[in-house]
Amino acid sequence: MDNKNIEEIVKKVLESMTGGSVPARGAASQAIPKTARVAKLVEKGRFELQEYPLPEVGDGDILVKVEGCGVCGTDAHEFKNDPFGLIPVVLGHEGTGEIVRMGKDVKKDSAGKDLHLGDKVVTCMIFKDNPDITMFDLNKQNVGGADVYGLLPDDDVHFNGWFADYILIRKGSTVFNVSDLDLKSRVLIEPCAVLVHAVERAKTTGILRFNSRVAVQGCGPIGLICIAVLRTMGIENITAVDGEPKRLEFAKRMGASKTVNFKDYKGIEALAGAVEASFGGHLADFAFQCTGSPVAHANIYKFIRNGGGLCELGFFINGGDATINPHFDICAKEITTVGSWVYTLRDYATTFDFLKRAKGIGLPMDDLITHSFPLEQINEALKTNLSMQGLKIAVINK
């Protein structure tokens, strides 16, 4: 009996013992418990830690030990108001972790990169056999119509979100091997992909260039990452607009050349004049609106020059109607406007390179994560997010 035959016999024995999940060659096998915890949102404003048996790993599935997950504004909306009607639900979609068990059919990630036990991964979306969404489709369709881990109704699997000890990535899901990124970078991938997509949408107007004067309104995590993406592209003339001095200070660290505190000005004309002054007497060539405020959306047009461009990405959910004057704000100025919502799969993959580039030029991406909490303190983590005490809040498993 040769070595090849011995390997085949060992493989079959392992498959029969593990239900088809076979340790990758050369990878150290982890001790996996029989049960683990999820943080389930059981009612508005309250998560409860619940323990369940870890699910069986099918031939196309991956079991991941969660290392960390960012708290998104979507999580906060669901925590506070349940606008999506998901309760009871295990939230968390900005997560990352380590592969500890994988089905025998799992060989590569969604970009064709090899997968092994011990690799660090993130997920993007779960698709529903939609031929219009493919890995290398640039802007045919975003992923808004797909499912996402962390926004799935609870079922008999339970491990459906990243606010947990483990998550089961099911066959047919997108998954990316990001072992070359550190934990904080991996936690930031999902929100950064939102901005990579927004800037790609902005570039389709043909207006956004290296020497463009760019206004970014709203300096929460989304606006700050927007500035970072622009800066990595080589755009240097950036004015950040917000009402909080600490956020404006961070905007400068991310690459903004000037800042404007809207609280220092009475009325939109005075505010627009301050933005114009920040560009040396010129209005912006392009603007990014990164808040969910209808008033902010109405104001942004006044910051933009005739023939300029606008990317609106602040309204991930319905924030209400905005009042504008189509003649003065759009037609007479011939402003080109694009909307942006989530991302495409290509944007997701591009984000990995963006994060490396941002750190390479010294942008303080890690400092975006201002607060981290263990899973046991997830209620406090969500309340911290809602109170706007910091920038990016994360749940980190020890």
What's the confidence (pLDDT) of residue 347?
Answer: 87
pLDDT in tens, the chain (398 residues): 555 555 555 455 444 444 444 444 334 446 899 999 999 999 999 999 999 999 999 999 999 999 999 999 899 999 999 988 999 999 999 999 999 999 999 999 988 999 999 999 999 877 655 655 555 554 455 666 678 899 999 999 999 999 999 999 999 888 999 999 999 999 999 999 999 999 999 999 999 999 999 999 999 999 999 999 999 999 999 999 999 999 999 999 999 999 999 999 999 999 999 999 999 999 999 999 999 999 999 999 999 999 999 999 999 888 899 999 999 999 999 999 999 988 888 888 899 999 999 999 999 999 999 999 999 999 999 999 999 889 999 999 97
What's the confidence (pLDDT) of residue 146?
Answer: 73
Q: Give the Cα separation of 88 and 104 in Å (integer).
A: 32
Helix ranges (DSSP H) in 57-188: 73-81, 183-187
Where do we find the tokens 């030029």? 361
What's the confidence (pLDDT) of residue 135?
Answer: 55
Tens digit of pLDDT for each residue in 288-329? 999 999 999 999 999 999 999 999 999 988 889 999 999 999
Query: How many other C-beta atoms are found inside a 10 Å radius of the C-beta of residue 386?
Result: 17
CA-to-CA separations, 32 to 7, 13, 56, in angstroms, rounded: 24, 19, 12
List 37's β-bridge partners, or say none: 51
Query: How many other C-beta atoms are found inside a 10 Å radius of the C-beta of residue 314?
Result: 22
Domain map of the chain by residue range?
A: 14-180+364-396, 192-339
Give kind and range of the element (H or E) at residue 44.
none
Say which residues have a Cβ less than 8 Å from residue 53's Cβ, sequence separation at least 6.
Answer: 34, 35
What's the confidence (pLDDT) of residue 248?
Answer: 98
What's the confidence (pLDDT) of residue 138?
Answer: 43
What's the confidence (pLDDT) of residue 125?
Answer: 76
CA-to-CA separations, 243 to 157, 217, 230, 261, in angstroms, rounded: 44, 10, 21, 5
How is domain 14-180+364-396 classified at the CATH fold level?
Quinone Oxidoreductase; Chain A, domain 1 (3.90.180)
What's the confidence (pLDDT) of residue 5?
Answer: 56
Tens digit of pLDDT for each residue in 250-275? 999 999 999 999 999 999 999 999 99
Give the DSSP letter string of 4-18: HHHHHHHHHHHHHHH
Helix ranges (DSSP H) in 292-364: 294-300, 345-360
Q: Give the Cα separation of 104 and 12 in Å (integer).
A: 11
What's the confidence (pLDDT) of residue 13?
Answer: 47
How is domain 192-339 classified at the CATH fold level?
Rossmann fold (3.40.50)
Give kind and range of the element (H or E) at residue 250.
helix 245-254
Nearest to 146 by CA among 163, 168, 124: 124
